[in-house]
Amino acid sequence: MMLSLLLLLLVSSLALVHSQNKYTVGDGDYSYVIDYDKTEDDFEFSSPSCGKEIDQMDVQMISKPNQIRISFTGDPTEMSLTWTTNDVSHIEEVRYGVLEGDLNNTATSISHQYNWNEQEDGSYVYTSGFIHEALMVNLVPGAIHFYQIFSNGQQSDVLRFLAAPEAGSDAPVSFFHIGDHGTFGTSLMVTADMMKRAKDQDFHGLIHCGDISYANKFNGSRGEPPMASQQVWDTWGQMVEPLGSKMAYMVTPGNHELDSYDSTNENATIYRKRFIMPGNERYYSFGVGMVHFIAVSTDESIDSESTQGVWFEQTLKEINEDRETWPWVVVFQHRPIYNSNKIHGNWDGREFNTSSRYVNPEIIGWPDNYERLLVEGKVDIVLNGHVHHYEVTYPVLNSTVIGKRSNNSVSGGPVHITCGQAGKSLYRIKHGENSYSEPPPPEHGPRQRALGTL
């Protein structure tokens, strides 16, 4: 069987990112502009620094639909959709169809709003815009669709996306893969590069392996109380809209979304309010054509008795009962169990859980039970973030190269790919020394310190 999984290798350097785009959203006297043409000279940094953050957006000043993102549900005839406005009206809906001039299907939305960081006087540091969620149904698998949002007395442009092909289809599948993004100068440049590449073809989706907005970082420099700056979530959502409105934006939480010990104490509460993912939204699976994707949460246990571990094993079992339909299985997660950068090392569930500074219990099942399930479940590729560089392994088990997979035989193991350099500072130096282990471990292939995507 010819297997034509298309995972485009899109590793880009700073000098290559030029988008020739500006994006403006706003009402009346307020206008928020994102200039995707900016380069390293505009952000006051020198590699490996990520530069200063871009200006923050005030969502309460924008009535037009903004932060538009779509996501897969696991059903190729469906697509979830979210957007934000500063108020609501009696008409909150999306109109869509396969013809740009005939948007003959309608889906109404539900809306919610949240407050953050209550003060002594009962006020809040931040109140979100109205976050809308809608579900487009009866799509034609594999076809281009068009949609337009009508919300808060305003309307969006007519946008387009490529629906997932039917399960088992041999149509090529194309995705971006990034991790550790944020709203820094380099984040904008990597986003601009993806926008440029997406002009040349329709991508099915984007896999974001955690550490999404960095709303909880650099709190002091933002001149606010020591809590997450929720405006950063709005800014990030607007920055990625040119991508997320046109391809399914699939995420899994990283430590900056999940860590309960962090000063933000978000503990995934904001992640759940802002994203629409299948299942419980932290770990889930979905199929796109010949590929079955599985998201796992690396900050939760995955041993044989844990909820995630039982779910993961059962999910792999069900997929392997029909590998003719799903010849490719791709797992994506935040922390890698294989990387040769000394700043983090291989994830074993203990990195942030043994210091007296933190109160989290040990996260178990990493990597022993997890890696056993990867090999027994015939997983082909594991996508990661967390480590701010690019690296790929050979097919591996227990740090030993175990051959190449052929015709879905179990003789090989998965290839692990880390692509955690979508914006946050690159890892180069630790204690004055090269942060890479030298020489490279034998199971590791190419490594690169450069901003970009996969």
Arithmetic mean of pLDDT over the chain = 84
Place of tokens 């997450």: 228
- Nearest of 344, 346, 345 to residue 371 by alpha carbon: 346
Q: At what angle do helices 185-198 and 230-239 cross, to 10 degrees?
A: 30
The whole-number pLDDT of residue 8 equals 41
- CA 346 centroid distance within chain: 21
- Tens digit of pLDDT for each residue in 149-194? 999 999 999 999 999 999 999 999 999 999 999 998 889 999 999 9
Q: For 408-419, give one letter per residue: b (16+ CB within 10 A) or e.
A: beeebbbbbbbb
Higher-confidence residue of 45 and 239: namely 239
Q: Are 423 and 186 in contact (CB under 8 A)?
A: yes
- Tens digit of pLDDT for each residue in 9-41? 333 333 333 334 777 787 777 889 999 988 777
Place of tokens 């942060």: 435
The whole-number pLDDT of residue 41 equals 76
Q: In the predicted model, is pLDDT for residue 272 greater than 60?
A: yes
The span from the CA of 118 to the CA of 138, in Å, is 42
Dihedral-angle region of residue 104 (phi above 0 means left; psi in -120 to 50 means alpha; beta otherwise): alpha
Place of tokens 């629409």: 276
Dihedral-angle region of residue 143 (phi above 0 means left; psi in -120 to 50 means alpha; beta otherwise): beta
- CA 345 centroid distance within chain: 22
Higher-confidence residue of 137 and 443: namely 137
> Of 243-247, 393-397, 399-403, which gets the smallest average pLDDT?
399-403
- Tens digit of pLDDT for each residue in 337-372? 998 887 788 898 875 443 334 445 678 999 999 999
> Of 5-14, 60-69, 437-446, which gets the smallest average pLDDT?
5-14
- pTM of this structure: 0.89
Contact partners, residue 183, CB within 8 Å, separation at least 6: 53, 54, 56, 213, 214, 232, 235, 236, 239, 423
